[in-house]
Amino acid sequence: MGTARPGLPQLVVVTFALVALFGVGVHGRNHIHKKPHGDGGAGHRGGAKGGSTVVSSPAVPPDDNGTPLVAPPPPPSGSIVPSDPATPAQPAEQCVFDVREYGATGESTADDTEAFRAAWSAACAVESAVLLVPSDGTFTISSTTFSGPCKPGLVFQVDGVLMPPDGPDCWPPSDNRRQWLVFSNLDGMTLRGAGTIEGNGEDWWNLPCKPHRGPNGSTLHGPCDSPTLIRFFMSCNLVVQGLRVENSPEFHFRFDGCSDVLVDGLFIRSPANSPNTDGIHVENTERVGIYNSKISNGDDCISIGTGSYDVDIQNVTCGPGHGISIGSLGVHNSQACVANVTVRNAVIRNSDNGLRIKTWQGGMGSVSGITFDGVLMENVRNCIIVDQYYCMDKRCMNQSTAVHVTDVSYANIRGSYDVRSAPIHFACSDTVPCTNVTMSEVELLPFSGELVDDPFCWSAYGIQETPTIPPISCLQDGIPDSLLDNPDLKCR
């Protein structure tokens, strides 16, 4: 393996460019395409005759009571952001493919899957096409992969309600139980809308095999596959904007094998006790921007898995949930590599964790170039935590290798913590210590109760640029010789 690659050039985000790309509605002439074989009882609707319109998505989602959140400023100059998606800002014309014209009823109890597949096939073949889920219906479709390649400028516009079958008992036996909507092999696609994607996840959460669903808090045996709600796979130049996504059976969004991804203005919500409902999961994906979003769920707000590079997270509010996590990494003695992750101007409330890095014993590779800057905590149990002894059932064997955690900066981290745990917790590997940890302007006070003044620190090397509250004096100087030129710790 070679040495860790340098960070990619950083791009400057300009306000009017974002407005031009994402803040505009559909311009020009609308073409409503009818179902190819018969009209299915639906008449042809044109723009001049009061036909369907494509609604521009808000830049920032509403909060729980419907009040729009205040839009924060755009990312500052120098942020790591994905490349500009190849979508024309002012298309000369856009062809609108309304799923009703392909036979969809929008009556919630009907199966509209085939209509959506037909509309996708037609839209995929036309440049600057919009597949429209209209605002006056609730559409149910079963597990579907929308695959490319497609013509440039494709938009999947959800203005109504879109949802899967209601729970595992209604899931078609022939369908994949691990994923619902999959967008695959696409270049330059946008998923947006003023509508809602409803996951109908409650019956999945209550399967007896889920954590703590059995007698006395146990977990029972049995089928436990649950679908990720929306997955992007092997795609690039993606935009996901303005949607409300709720109650996913498992992960809400998963980006796997993708590049140049922009996520902006999402509202993601599931109950705090819903298991494995990560808000946004990124894996084997590079150049990702996640901005201006609000996420509350029962697991990680944002989780970053192996193979993730150049991830920029700004103006995100999390909680309740498990905070923003890098990992878990290195399971089953695997190599894991994550580099250049930035979290700025974030708020984390009422969460089990705040900023977490978690790795399994026995792994290899590295987590490097991590910056946490300007994060407000409110009643968070583990505000800052590195856990290199991560284990799902606490019966894991001690192992001598580990994923190297290095070059991690915590700056301007303020707020309050739940006194049941120390607010700062560095549990690093005996043989592969954490190195180059930097602490600056870290001030954490109890949400209620007395100050916990004994942060946990094991095998961690770094510096305090300013005094911290509570005080931390256990960071060691230098870098152990055992980490120099260790090939197991190298990434690409």
Q: List pLDDT tens digits, range 69-111.
A: 444 444 444 444 454 444 444 444 679 999 999 999 999 999 9
Phi, psi of 290 (to 5 degrees): -120, 115
**Three-class secondary structure of residue 486 per DSSP:** coil
pLDDT truncated to tens, each residue of the chain (492 aa)?
A: 434 444 444 433 333 333 333 443 333 334 444 344 333 333 333 333 333 333 333 333 444 444 444 444 444 444 444 544 444 444 446 799 999 999 999 999 999 999 999 999 999 999 999 999 999 999 999 999 999 999 999 999 999 999 999 999 999 998 989 999 999 999 999 999 999 999 999 999 998 888 656 566 666 666 688 999 999 999 999 999 999 999 999 999 999 999 999 999 999 999 999 999 999 999 999 999 999 999 999 999 999 999 999 999 999 999 999 999 999 999 999 999 999 999 999 999 999 999 999 998 999 999 999 999 999 999 999 999 999 998 877 678 888 889 999 999 999 999 999 988 889 999 999 999 999 999 999 999 999 877 776 778 899 999 999 999 988 888 999 888 778 778 878 887
**Using one digit for the tens of pLDDT, what is the confidence trace for 231-245?**
999 999 999 999 999
Domains of the chain: 1-212+224-287 (2.160.20), 323-492 (2.160.20.10)
Q: Provide the 3-class DSSP secondary structure of residue 129.
A: strand
Cβ contact 193:242 at 8 Å: yes
CB contact at 8 A, 367 and 359: yes
In this structure, is the dihedral angle defined by the CA atoms of residues 374, 380, 383 and 389, taken in order, positive or negative? negative
Q: What share of the chain is helix, strand, coil (3-state, %, to 5)?
A: 10, 40, 50
Between the CA of residue 360 and those of 271, 370, 401, 403, what are the distances in Å? 28, 19, 9, 8
Query: With contact defined as beta carbons under 8 Å apart, do 105 and 122 qualify?
Result: no
Please say whether the beta carbons of 165 and 142 come within 8 A: yes
Q: Which phi and psi (to 5°) does residue 454 adopt?
A: -130, 70
| Residue 97 CB burial class (10 angstroms; 0-12, 13-18, ≥19) | buried
Provide CB contacts within 8 A for 484, sequence distance 6+.
none
User: What is d(CA 421, CA 419) in angstroms, rounded to the nearest whole number?
Assistant: 5
Q: CA dist 281 to 262, 306, 402, Å? A: 13, 11, 22
Residues that are catalytic: 322
Q: Which of 375, 380, 346, 387 is nearest to 441 (CA)?
A: 375
Whether residue 287 contacts residue 310, with contact meaning beta carbons closer than 8 Å, is answered with yes
